[in-house]
Amino acid sequence: TQLLEQSPQFLSIQEGENLTVYCNSSSVFSSLQWYRQEPGEGPVLLVTVVTGGEVKKLKRLTFQFGDARKDSSLHITAAQPGDTGLYLCAGDSWGKLQFGAGTQVVVTP
Amino acid sequence: DAGVTQSPTHLIKTRGQQVTLRCSPKSGHDTVSWYQQALGQGPQFIFQYYEEEERQRGNFPDRFSGHQFPNYSSELNVNALLLGDSALYLCASSSRGYGYTFGSGTRLTVV
């Protein structure tokens, strides 16, 4: 059972378009993390957000943590084929990561 | 600097058998967590080891057990394998709850 709900489940866009992935939970976490996972590999940490209302930018990726620390979003500007992958959000509950089911993003040239 | 190393990368077992998966954490990390990722799902927390003790456990039966060695490496053991145990098993290391780094996983297939 996934306690974190991610939407959409699948997203297919053209290179250069923008996209937003959402992560929502009824629980409050000490921090929330975003990962990208490619086939046959483990998840790779993109960012950790800790403070409610926090916004972090990583090149073309913008991460936002909701004021109540229950929801988060990931926005990608001018997506590139290299952004293709499974995007996972995870809430940190005292060292135990609880993951959403992920959003599969496909960016076509 | 080597990241998290898991072995083997792939494994095929028969129902009822037992399996042992291994994990070497990233240099400088002292905590190892294990996750199970079924196809099309996010990883599910199995348990976490720190100072050679199980510190936290997820909702998995006692068939799943583990161990951490003095050099911080870890093993995951699964007894009486079921078809439903087929999944990607991921190991993640960290240091005091920071810097989670995942290995590439072990793909277990139970037939």
3-class DSSP assignment, residue B18? coil
CA–CA separation, A76 vs A20, rounded Å? Answer: 6
pLDDT at A26 over 90: no
pLDDT at site B93: 96
pLDDT at B72 over 60: yes
Instruction: Please check whether residue A92 is in contact with residue A49, taking contact to mean a CB–CB distance below 8 angstroms.
Output: no
Query: Hey, what are B72's tokens?
Result: 């911080």
Q: Per CB distance under 8 Å, which residues of B are interface residues toward A?
A: 4, 31, 33, 35, 40-45, 48, 55-56, 58, 90, 92, 94, 97, 100-105
Instruction: Please check whether residue A79 is in contact with residue A12, taking contact to mean a CB–CB distance below 8 angstroms.
Output: no
pLDDT tens digits, residue range B49-68? 999 999 999 999 999 999 99
Mean pLDDT of A59-82: 94
Asked if the Cβ–Cβ distance from A42 to B102 is below 8 Å, we say yes
Q: Position A102: which residue type?
A: G
What integer best gives the mean pLDDT of chain A?
A: 93
CA–CA separation, A33 vs A24, rounded Å? Answer: 12
Asked if the Cβ–Cβ distance from A42 to B94 is below 8 Å, we say no
